[in-house]
Amino acid sequence: MAATAASAPFAAQSVAAAEIALAAAALGGLLMGWGARLGFGCNIGAFVGGVASGSLHGWVWFAAALPGCMIGIKLRRCSDFRASRPMRTVYAIVFVVAFAALIAQHLTSPSSGRPVSPEDFAGACAPCGAPCPSVQKK
Amino acid sequence: MSSVAESLVARARARLDWPFLIASVLALAVLVALVLVDGQPAAAALLAFGFALGAVFLKTEFSFTASWRRLIVRGQADGFLGGLLLIAIAPRRRSFQSRRSSLASAGRSLRSGRR
Amino acid sequence: MQLANGCGSGTLYTVGGGSGRMLITLAFFIAGSVIGSLQLPAFLRLGGIDPVLASNYLGPWGGLAATWLSLGLAALAGVAIAKRRAASFAPSRRMVLGAILIGLLSIAVFAAGHHPWSVTFGFTVWGAKIASLLGRGFVPGRILAMGGPKRALGDSILSDTSSLTDLGMILGAHGGDCRQRAVRRAIRGRR
């Protein structure tokens, strides 16, 4: 809600603000991707999945994410710009190309059966298939 | 007055962006068809449930990010409590250790079942 | 999450809803998760403890009770914080509905996939596939060379549960946005 309100007067967006917004988006995404892999998930995978399963790591994730969020909020610019026409075109192109690539990839790959995830395999101790620390030490 | 009436008419007429909705459903149908042809109804179910999740998230504007932010900045706990409700309903995995032995054989058969 | 204005699920449904900016977030999310997967073995070598599951110590019902107890305590803490800062803590009806529906759907995802719903591993799969496509010298790294992830890398993008739900989410948000789009288009068309 606040973001919508904050973005209302952005009729004439300065270039610098737009670039900052994009840089923030990129940096945020990069950090999330990196952190999600090391932390065995994001809100859904680690927090929801972990706490629901009664696993301690869910709350550990939460405790770690809390200060991270505080820092992120301090750094965050409340800029959210409306996509310009070129951006919308880029978006449409990306979607179509990605969909085509997806289908091509599917049709050219082997498929071993029912959909799985690395954690279904022996030795997996996390959704990404990482081994348990006790096993690793061997 | 006429511009207000015009905007109301426009809103009423533009109830749904049909091309968009149809395109999304068609794309889903293509993917579902591809996995069903492979004989994987579970994959089709996952796609469908994902579709429903995406729609629900968007319609209800359920945002973890905003929930965190409201809690930290203003002490507003509504989103946080909503997240806890979600966790209360969400299913749990039994155990990591015990799965390994039972799924080792499943994993082997999965790998050997390659086309 | 705060810089990007969305977490894993947030990124997916915002991209589906048409945000170009979130597309950039998603691209970097995918890249970051591949980098993370390459570094994960090093981090794991730092040591750690095995998963601590309440049900391992208390049995299945005890585990459930422990979970609910932790949720209850967290809820009390949340309400206490809200009261101290004179803020609201009652979720809106829309939020409660969303939480219930998403919770039920996560049960459905679990039933179909036989393990809990995961959003971020799908990104690692996509990223690893793109990386192996682009860079012939892409070394999968120890994590991706393990049985499960290796299969995820080589097989179809539609054979990983997380990848499937993520794709579904983007399309669902795309479709779900149809009403707002129509309104926005009507407003734009009038100018």
In whole angstroms, give the CA distance from residue C10 to residue C12.
5
Closest CA to C1 of A91, B105, A122, A42: A42
What is residue C72's predicted lDDT score, i.e. its pLDDT?
A: 92
- Distance to chain A for C2, nearest Cα, Å: 5
Q: How far is CA A21 from CA A94, B73, C6, C99, in A?
A: 20, 20, 13, 29
- Distance to chain C for A12, nearest Cα, Å: 16
3-class DSSP assignment, residue A55: strand
What is residue A9's predicted lDDT score, i.e. its pLDDT?
A: 39
Identify the residue with better confidence: A55 or B27. Answer: B27
Q: What is the pLDDT of residues B73-101, one digit of tens each?
A: 888 888 899 999 999 998 877 655 434 33
Give this prediction's pTM: 0.81
pLDDT, averaged across chain A: 75
What is residue C166's predicted lDDT score, i.e. its pLDDT?
A: 94
Q: For chain C, 191 residues long, give each residue's pLDDT as a single digit of tens.
A: 887 788 888 888 888 887 778 888 899 999 888 888 888 777 777 777 777 787 777 887 888 888 889 999 999 999 998 888 888 888 889 999 999 999 999 999 999 988 889 898 889 888 888 887 777 555 666 555 566 667 777 788 888 899 999 999 999 998 888 777 766 766 666 54
Q: What is the pLDDT of residues C97-132, one digit of tens each?
A: 999 999 999 999 999 988 889 898 889 888 888 887
In whole angstroms, give the CA distance from residue A110 to residue A117.
16
Q: What is the pLDDT of residues A77-129, one digit of tens each?
A: 544 555 556 677 778 888 889 999 999 888 888 776 788 887 777 667 776 77
Q: How confident is the model at residue A11 (pLDDT cuts 50, 70, 90)?
A: very low
In whole angstroms, give the CA distance from residue C8 to residue C117.
12
Q: Diameter of chain A by CA atoms?
A: 61
Q: Across the interface, which of C32, C37, C63 has its CB nearest the CB of A29? A: C32
What is residue A120's predicted lDDT score, i.e. its pLDDT?
A: 75
Q: How confident is the model at residue A70 (pLDDT cuts 50, 70, 90)?
A: confident
Q: What are the chain A neighbours of B34 within 8 Å (beta carbons)? A: 103, 106-107
Q: Which of A44, A62, A121 to mutate to test the interface with C (most CBs of C within 10 A)?
A: A44
- Would you tell me how many other CB atoms lie within 10 Å of the CB of residue C16? 27
Per residue, the 3-state secondary structure of C66-127, as one string, reads: HHHHHHHHHHHHHHHHHHHCCCCCCCCHHHHHHHHHHHHHHHHHHHHHCCCCCCHHHHHHHH
Q: What is the pLDDT of residues B28-74, one digit of tens each?
A: 999 999 999 888 899 999 999 999 999 999 989 888 888 888 888 88
Strand partners, C160: A116
- Distance to chain C for A14, nearest Cα, Å: 16
Q: What is the pLDDT of residues A23-44, one digit of tens each?
A: 888 888 888 888 888 888 888 8
Structure-token pair, residue C176: 């779900």
Strand partners, C162: none
DSSP annotation of A82 reads P
The CA radius of gyration of chain B, in Å to the nearest whole number, is: 22
In whole angstroms, give the CA distance from residue C142 to residue C2.
31
Structure-token pair, residue C130: 């793109």
What are the residue ranges of helices labelled H in A1-138?
A: 2-7, 15-38, 49-52, 56-75, 85-107, 133-136
3-class DSSP assignment, residue C160: strand
Q: Which residues contact C23 (CB under 8 A, 6 or more apart)?
A: A90, A91, A94, C15
